[in-house]
């Protein structure tokens, strides 16, 4: 009994944690937990940026590659209506009279059938103000009777984004977050398309605007594509540049 009483007295004399020590422990635990959570969030953001950036790069490179191949494959249309619209001779590329953000051409690229009996179809690429680059194609092969008929004369001046991107033939968005319109500034945008051609004096020129009969002298198209890889944060651009020579202009 004496030994038991002595042990009980020893237990009563032992001291526990004070409230201050407990609060300090809780604060330290909270700080460590917050640091771990911040590290986890940073890793998640880094991984998300890497994945989205890689997807944006692939999308941009695919779009540029597709543009280059279709421009190279551009050819002179044989239909009398097309010829009357100024698409005969050596070039089937054309450009708007007011902007440098769209291109229309005739091509048999990716069409089935035996050459040279496949009829070239019109393909249009257009960059819109929301930074999306769309591709349209005369998918039905019905010539100027389709929704792309207004492009054949290369004189279209209006933009109806809501209608064009939802109802036009073969509408397809090929890349988004294109920033050509704001880089280096809105006052000096980066031309998406520039054209190399011989002027009436036989001099080689490069312009972002080619009209009238000069369209028949286009030899090559330079495509300069700027895409924002990190649109929700500080800008990080991929800058892609290529020049595609029209196949039917190589004999000049």
Band (45; pLDDT cuts 50, 70, 90) = confident
The tokens of 10 are what?
A: 């020893």
Task: Give 13-26 pLDDT, tens digit per residue.
Answer: 555 667 788 888 88
- More confident of the two residues 160 and 191: 191
Q: Is residue 194 within 8 Å of 224, Cβ to Cβ?
A: yes
The torsion angle over the Cα atoms of residues 250, 126, 227 and 249, rounded to 10 degrees, is 0
**Bridge partners (DSSP) listed for residue 137:** 123
**What are the backbone dihedrals phi and psi of residue 241, each rounded to the nearest 5 degrees, phi first?**
-140, 130
The sign of the dihedral angle between the CA atoms of 82, 87, 93, 97 is negative
Give the strands of the sheet with 102-107, arranged side by side.
94-95, 102-107, 121-127, 133-137, 172-175
Residue 69's nearest CA partner among 40, 105, 35, 44 is 105
What are the boundaries of each domain within the chain? 47-249
- What is the structure's pLDDT at 166? 76
SS3 content of the chain, % helix, strand, coil (to 5): 40, 25, 40
Task: Give 85-117 pLDDT, tens digit per residue.
Answer: 333 333 444 443 335 788 877 777 776 655 566
Distance CA 201, CA 88 (A): 20
Task: Give 47-95 pLDDT, tens digit per residue.
Answer: 777 888 888 899 999 999 999 988 888 776 655 444 433 333 334 444 4
Tokens 């917050």 appear where? 34
Q: Is residue 243 within 8 Å of 220, Cβ to Cβ?
A: yes
Q: Is residue 182 within 8 Å of 192, Cβ to Cβ?
A: no
| pTM attached to this predicted model | 0.72
The tokens of 135 are what?
A: 């591709």
Helix (H, G, I), strand (E, B) or coil at 135: strand
**Bridge partners (DSSP) listed for residue 218:** 197
DSSP state of 184: B
């Amino acid at each position: 009994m004496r030994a038991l009483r002595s042990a009980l007295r020893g237990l009563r004399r032992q001291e526990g944690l004070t409230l201050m020590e407990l609060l300090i422990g809780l604060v330290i635990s909270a700080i460590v937990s917050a640091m771990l959570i911040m590290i986890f969030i940073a890793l998640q953001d880094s991984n998300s940026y890497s994945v989205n950036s890689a997807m944006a790069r692939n999308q941009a490179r695919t779009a540029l590659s597709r543009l280059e191949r279709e421009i190279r494959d551009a050819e002179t249309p044989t239909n009398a209506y097309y010829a009357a619209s100024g698409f005969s001779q050596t070039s089937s590329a054309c450009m708007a009279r007011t902007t440098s953000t769209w291109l229309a051409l005739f091509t048999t690229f990716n069409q089935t059938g035996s050459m040279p009996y496949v009829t070239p179809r019109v393909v249009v690429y257009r960059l819109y103000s929301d930074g999306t680059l769309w591709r349209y194609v005369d998918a039905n092969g019905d010539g100027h009777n389709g929704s792309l008929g207004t492009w054949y004369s290369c004189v279209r001046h209006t933009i109806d984004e809501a209608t064009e991107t939802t109802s036009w033939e073969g509408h397809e968005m090929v890349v988004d977050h294109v920033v050509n319109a704001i880089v280096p500034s809105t006052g000096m945008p980066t031309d998406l398309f520039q054209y190399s051609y011989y002027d009436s004096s036989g001099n080689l020129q490069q312009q972002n605007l080619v009209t009238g009969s000069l369209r028949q002298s286009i030899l090559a198209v330079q495509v300069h594509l700027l895409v924002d890889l990190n649109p929700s944060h500080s800008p990080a651009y991929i800058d892609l540049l290529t020049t595609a020579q029209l196949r039917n202009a190589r004999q000049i």
